[in-house]
């Protein structure tokens, strides 16, 4: 068995997933990086190499559960252990319930809910005999806040939170903790994709959101990564079956007066 702990991260080529993989490596974990075949992982892998830790790359599309299963198998045959699973990958189409195609709806649920559920099941099966493990589902504050522009995505994230509580109940007696993290506005490809074709409009939307966030800025993905790795560690040993909102205070404030402070 690998002497180092092993973290498996989906959507690891960049954004929150890339920063999470690098942070795990900095903390002494070897990393299994799941990414789409089209993605360039070298910016992440070169930073992992700098830490002296190892990585394993498994590319594929998480709509395909056989790919997800094979990633778990590859990890087990290479290293014989999985200590942490971070279900981070997500796919979102900006659209409305009036217009969404069934294919888009089904793809979103497969990537954002079904793949995380089955990855959790297959990883937990490897964690249970060792009596320890952590599963972190990257959800969103949109699981509880609506914008009317991504119906399948928000439905999947809401269900992912519910799944977190279900899995924490099932696997807690086996020593496995299960958590959701719910980021707010994060400066990544997905955060910036607000489907407006004019830069001026995008800038206005961003400014409006920053005015509503008590910390008055979007987060760097590194800030979410650090929280994820902290939650996976022993300092969070009694934390399970809950959602941790990481949003600069956005969700809790709803007063129009707050923009004046």
| Nearest distance in Å: CB 131, ligand NAD | 28
Which of 32, 123, 138, 228 touches ligand NAD (CB under 6 A)? 138
Distance of alpha carbon 165 from alpha carbon 187, whole angstroms = 28
Which of 179, 183, 213, 225 touches ligand NAD (CB under 6 A)? 183
Q: Find the part of the chain contacting ligand NAD (CB under 6 A) among 58-66, 162-170, 171-179, 236-244.
A: 58-66
Which of 45, 188, 240, 245 touches ligand NAD (CB under 6 A)? 188
Distance of alpha carbon 35 from alpha carbon 112, whole angstroms = 14
45 binds ligand NAD (CB under 6 A): no
* Binding positions for ligand NAD, 199-238, rule CB under 6 A: 221
Q: Specify the residue, 41 or 81, whose C-beta has the smaller distance to ligand NAD.
A: 41
Which residues lie below 8 Å from residue 216, measured CB to CB, with a gap of 6+? 210, 248
Which x/- pattern, by CB under 6 A, does the window 10-39 give for ligand NAD?
A: -x-xxxxx-----------------xx--x
> What are the DSSP calls for 49-113, one per residue?
HHHT--EEEEE--TT-HHHHHHHHHHHHHHHS---EEEE---------TTT--HHHHHHHHIIII
Q: Find the part of the chain contacting ligand NAD (CB under 6 A) among 88-96, 118-126, 171-179, 200-208.
A: 88-96
Which of 97, 189, 196, 205 touches ligand NAD (CB under 6 A)? 189
CA 55 to chain CA mean position, Å: 18
5 binds ligand NAD (CB under 6 A): no
| Nearest distance in Å: CB 93, ligand NAD | 11
| Nearest distance in Å: CB 257, ligand NAD | 25
Q: Specify the residue, 81 or 161, whose C-beta has the smaller distance to ligand NAD.
A: 161
| Nearest distance in Å: CB 65, ligand NAD | 11
Which of 32, 109, 190, 228 touches ligand NAD (CB under 6 A)? 190
Tell me how many residues contact ligand NAD (CB under 6 A).
27
Neighbour count for residue 26 (Cβ, 10 Å): 17
* Binding positions for ligand NAD, 95-124, rule CB under 6 A: 111
Which residues are at the interface with ligand NAD (CB under 6 A)?
A: 11, 13-17, 35-36, 39, 61-63, 88-91, 111, 138, 140, 183, 185-186, 188-191, 221
């Amino acid at each position: 068995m690998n002497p180092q702990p092993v973290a498996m991260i989906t959507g690891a080529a960049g954004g929150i997933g890339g920063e999470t993989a690098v942070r795990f490596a900095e903390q002494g974990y070897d990393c299994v990086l799941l990414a789409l075949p089209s993605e360039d992982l070298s910016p992440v892998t070169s930073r992992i190499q700098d830490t002296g830790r190892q990585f394993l790359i498994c590319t594929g599309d998480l709509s395909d559960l056989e790919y997800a299963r094979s990633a778990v198998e590859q990890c087990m045959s290479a290293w014989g252990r999985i200590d942490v699973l971070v279900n981070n990958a997500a796919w979102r189409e900006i659209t409305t319930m009036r217009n969404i195609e069934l294919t888009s709806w089904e793809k979103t649920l497969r990537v954002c809910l079904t793949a995380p559920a089955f990855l959790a099941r297959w990883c937990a099966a490897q964690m249970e005999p060792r009596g320890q493990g952590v599963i972190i589902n990257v959800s969103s504050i949109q699981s509880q806040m609506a914008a009317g522009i991504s119906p399948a995505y928000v439905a999947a994230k809401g269900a992912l939170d519910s799944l977190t509580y279900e899995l924490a109940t099932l696997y807690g007696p086996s020593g496995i903790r299960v958590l959701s993290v719910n980021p707010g506005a994060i400066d990544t490809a997905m955060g910036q994709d607000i489907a407006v074709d004019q830069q001026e409009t995008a800038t206005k939307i961003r400014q409006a959101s920053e005015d509503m966030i008590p910390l008055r800025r979007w987060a760097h993905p590194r800030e979410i990564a650090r929280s994820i790795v902290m939650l996976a560690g022993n300092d969070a040993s009694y934390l399970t079956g809950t959602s941790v909102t990481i949003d600069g205070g956005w969700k809790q404030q709803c007063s129009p007066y707050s923009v004046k402070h």
